Structure 1
């Protein structure tokens, strides 16, 4: 999946591996985390398949870098992949798995897991809200969702983070934790 993610991000504009990773961190990472090493590893593979081309860029005072750009074959392959993608995998939710087995850990484990989960949900909410407000979208007052698919993913992230927090309110109550 990292190869398709890299190819999709390169469709915006050519980039080095590092620049591509930074682009991912500012966009898709809130719903599809990817490591820098995974992206770096995919770039030569994409080039060997003819989906991207690369050129060396000499930098002053820094190591030289390779900049990758999508080829026409890459655009076509990406469109074909995107159009034919079937979602058959059930989503995984690691926090639910941790909570499910928390009874087998120390007495305070469930509480720590819930608090950590809440902190991540709050960070995700703030991140997605920032993306939306930077683009002029107020998800709490706008009558219609944004038409830009990228902003829709930020809206999904925001709604998911808020849903997680509502669930965590219930979990804290059920576990007898002090509400925040």
Structure 2
């Protein structure tokens, strides 16, 4: 049996959690972004704090932070990590809200999935809170934008989604 190029598969092709115990703990950081595309009126309501369910941005921020901490409960092969910091920020434009999540740890594996999960859940929270005003919203453009630390080193995305 040949060794799989996928780290989450054993030599027989079965799912496995990667063994990170031989690795040294190091500072790791990841930044992810996504967008919730919506009608201009919906974005305006969010910006003015006029959505009936409450402060969309505040609730989505807390949801994103909580999601980063719960990532291993949602993604089966993710390692539980001591998440050191989570920042979730928003940019409100005419027809979209961009979410950026930054997650940091000192551990043996990276926090890319935590950052992407934070973005995803924050976006879903925005959808949930705004759906009575706009059911046509679309969540998209989820991507890792930057990561530092670990054996694979640094990564920085250079392309940007279209406005």
TM bin (shorter chain): under 0.3
Instruction: Name the structure where strand makes up a greater proportion of residues.
Output: 2
Instruction: Name the structure where helix makes up a greater proportion of residues.
Output: 1
Larger radius of gyration between Structure 1 and Structure 2: 1
Q: Name the TM-score, length of structure 1 as normaliser.
A: 0.25
Indicate the structure whose relative CO is greater, using CA pairs within 8 Å and at least 6 residues apart.
2
